[in-house]
Amino acid sequence: MKIGIFDSGKGGLSIFDEVKKVLPEAEYKYIADSKNCPYGEKSDEELMEIVRRNVDELSDWGARVIVIACNTATTRCIERLREEYPGLKFVGTEPAIKLAVKTGAKKILVIATPGTIESERMESLLEENKKAGQEFILLSCPGLADAIENDDGVDAKLAELLKDAPEVDCVVLGCTHYSLIREKIASYFPEAAIVDGDKGVAKRVKELVENLWKNE
């Protein structure tokens, strides 16, 4: 089984690692599309064009399953990709709102790219999962994924974005790049649980691939 994975750079590598752990026997190709980073600050049409190129490359290589290891590309493009490529199976990465709700936290901060924060999917994720008595605060972080990708000015960017952040008991890392600086982010929220979607994505890929194998 050939599985393709892509992100706007190294953000998706933590998802790639989790997927490999649960499906070591599959064959993988990872596209680190850093020349087009940041995805989170592109228009829908620009992003669709970029993402189609990645999907075409992975499909030409022979991938049957494509993992979008990027919250921005998932929240903004996955529905259209499923329509445009009916022969491929897509697994996306979404901000781990469900997981945050499960922690029982009362005040939850979601940090993500502008593209993810402003997406309709972000709104529906909250509507679908939010429980009474829970407050969600959304914080758009322009420039942060780019700083992480290029390892340039991360500390200054974080300080600028988080210096006035509210006190919360859970933080959702809604961009795969942010998982790479989890400890730095956690240092702003010493009491909070920090959650991301990496393991959830790997679990869904495993279920999907095992189903495909069963039906072969």
Nearer to ligand DGL, 23 or 47 (CB): 47
Instruction: Classify residue 174 by its DSSP letter.
Output: -
Neighbour count for residue 162 (Cβ, 10 Å): 19
Nearer to ligand DGL, 34 or 129 (CB): 34
Paired residues of 170 in beta bridges: 108, 193
Nearer to ligand DGL, 17 or 210 (CB): 17
What's the Cα-to-Cα distance from 143 to each of 78, 89, 166, rounded to whole Å?
Answer: 23, 31, 20
- What's 70-136 look like in SS3? CHHHHHHHHHHHHHHCCCCEEECCCCCHHHHHHCCCCEEEEEECHHHHCCHHHHHHHHHHCCCCCEE
Nearer to ligand DGL, 41 or 169 (CB): 41
Least distance in Å: CB of 177 to ligand DGL? 4
| Residues forming the active site | 70, 175
Least distance in Å: CB of 11 to ligand DGL? 3
Least distance in Å: CB of 187 to ligand DGL? 21
**Residues of this chain that bind ligand DGL (CB under 6 A):** 7-8, 11, 37-40, 70-72, 113, 116, 145, 175-177
Q: How many helices (H) and strands (E) does the chain have?
A: 10, 8
- How far apart CA 117 and CA 86 sit, in angstroms, is 27
Nearer to ligand DGL, 37 or 185 (CB): 37
Neighbour count for residue 12 (Cβ, 10 Å): 29
Least distance in Å: CB of 71 to ligand DGL? 4
Residue closest to 127 by CA, chosen among 118, 139, 114, 136: 136
